[in-house]
Amino acid sequence: MDKIYLNSMEFWGYHGLFPEENKLGQRFYVDLELELDLKPAAQTDDMNQSINYGEIYEVTKKVVEGEARKLVETVAEQLSKKLLEHFELLDACRVKVTKPDPPIPGHYKSVAIDIYRGRADD
């Protein structure tokens, strides 16, 4: 299957278990791996046979910067659902949401959730 990647998109969201996270917000990074047949677009040079990257970004932004969720898992799930609903040509997607500054003790670069969803998962 062919793939489109959008990497390291940065957003400001209010997701988390702690009240401070919901009030102050924090950075979130999103990586997308979108599966679809790109051969028709490549052969015809027709954007209607592919997915507009700018539209992908806007859908992602609305979810990540939208309604606050307690779990990053929920953010990833909601995003995968919106992408599959909005883009008919999309067969499946991998969504990785990274929280670089979670308020938990320890030394690490980030925490992340990575999910894979397809049309059969509806």
For the annotated catalytic residues, the residue numbers are 99
Tokens 């938990």, residue located: 104
Q: Which two tokens stand for residue 68?
A: 């606050």
Residues in the chain: 122
Residue 103: which residues within 8 A CB-CB, separation 6 or more?
16, 18, 20, 21
